[in-house]
Amino acid sequence: MTDRGAEKILSFENVTAGYGRSDVLNGLSFEVERGEVFGIIGPNGSGKTTMLNTLTGLLRPKSGRILLDGEDISRLPVDARCRRGIGRTFQIPRPFIRMTVFENVLVSGIYGAGFSAAEGKGPAEDVLRFTGLYEKRDLKSGELTLLDRKRLEIARAIVSKPRLLLLDEVAAGLTGSEIETVIGMVVQLKRAGFTVVWIEHILETMLKAADRLMCMAEGRCAVIGVPGEVLASGEVEELYLGTETEALKHAAR
């Protein structure tokens, strides 16, 4: 499954984490290789967003370790992890709605990469072109369509050139052709050299864009491997039983 020569960029080692006394992640372990698109699926409440929160520092693990390029980042605060190159989008887009599209990206570059406003202008324009938002750079972000808000989430996450890019359900709520656009963008991100961790409920995105796929259940890794095999596995079918079985069969066909 894993090339012997492949370089690990991220490792979760037996991570336990949760809110208050209840644990959501229960000994989660997996590794991400540099340059891959690593997909994550799992039923609602299986801990996918909690995993991202633990990785970005919004939550501290109770036990276990998270290694980024071999460095233990488990106890670092959010801003320190951001400076080490972890960039993310949010499941619900969070732009500053009164700012323009350009200003939103610029502010992310200033906070994420420590750019001055002058230094940030060029990179902000580059990612606006990359994400197809350049023509809309002077619109207020509150005026954007959902697809454009997803584009903006990605633009804000990549302006500081993170070594690890985390996408949380960027295809959710979109139409079929809009989903194809998002898949195309993720493929472009990979070509541009990003390592992508992509959480998504829409399983066809995983078949089309992910190199490897992990299915989570109850805060652990239930199945991991090539997307087609993971989606066709009995374990995944059982986890999704009664919810998305038909969608799964369709996706794995």
Write out the residues near ligand ATP by the rule CB under 6 A.
Answer: 19, 24, 42, 44-50
Q: Which is nearer to ligand ATP, 152 or 239 (CB)?
A: 239
Q: Which does 50 bind (CB under 5 to 8 A by kind): ligand ATP, Mg ion, none?
A: ligand ATP
Give the one entry of Mg ion, ligand ATP, none that residue 95 binds, where binding means its C-beta sits below a cut-off of 5 to 8 angstroms depending on kind: none
Two tokens, residue 221: 């890794």
Q: How far is the CB of 247 from Mg ion (least distance, A)?
A: 17
- Report the partner that residue 54 touches, choosing among Mg ion, ligand ATP, none (CB closer than 5 to 8 A by kind): none
| DSSP β-bridge partners for residue 33 | 8
CB of 76 to ligand ATP, least distance (A): 20
**Would you say the C-alpha torsion 109, 113, 116, 119 has a positive or negative sign?**
negative
The C-alpha torsion from 241 through 175 and 106 to 186, rounded to 10°, is 60
Residue with tokens 């619900």: 92
Q: Does 49 bind Mg ion (CB under 5 A)?
A: yes
Q: Supply the minimum distance, in Å, between the C-beta of residue 201 and ligand ATP.
A: 6
- Least separation in angstroms between residue 240's CB and ligand ATP is 12
Q: From the CB of 157, what's the least distance to ligand ATP, in Å?
A: 18
Residue number, nearest CB to Mg ion = 49
Nearer to ligand ATP, 40 or 124 (CB): 40
Report the nearest approach of Mg ion to the CB of residue 49 (Å). Answer: 3
Nearest to Mg ion of 82, 199 (CB atom):
199
Is the CB of 45 or the CB of 122 nearer to ligand ATP?
A: 45
CB 150 within 8 A of CB 174: yes
d(CA 248, CA 239): 11
Angle formed at CA 147 by CA 188 and CA 56, multiple of 5 degrees: 65
With respect to Mg ion, which residue has the nearer C-beta, 48 or 136?
A: 48
**Which does residue 16 touch among Mg ion, ligand ATP, none (CB within 5 to 8 A, set by kind)?**
none
Q: Which is nearer to ligand ATP, 12 or 102 (CB)?
A: 12
Length of the chain: 253
For the chain, what is the total number of helices (H) and then of strands (E)?
A: 10, 10
Binder of residue 160, out of ligand ATP, Mg ion, none (CB less than 5 to 8 A by kind): none
Q: How far is CA 119 from CA 17, 110, 115, 227, in A?
A: 38, 9, 5, 40
- Indicate the DSSP class of residue 135: G
Residue 114 to residue 119: CA distance in whole angstroms: 9
Q: Tell me how far the alpha carbon of residue 207 is from its chain's centroid.
A: 16
List residues binding Mg ion (CB under 5 A): 48-49
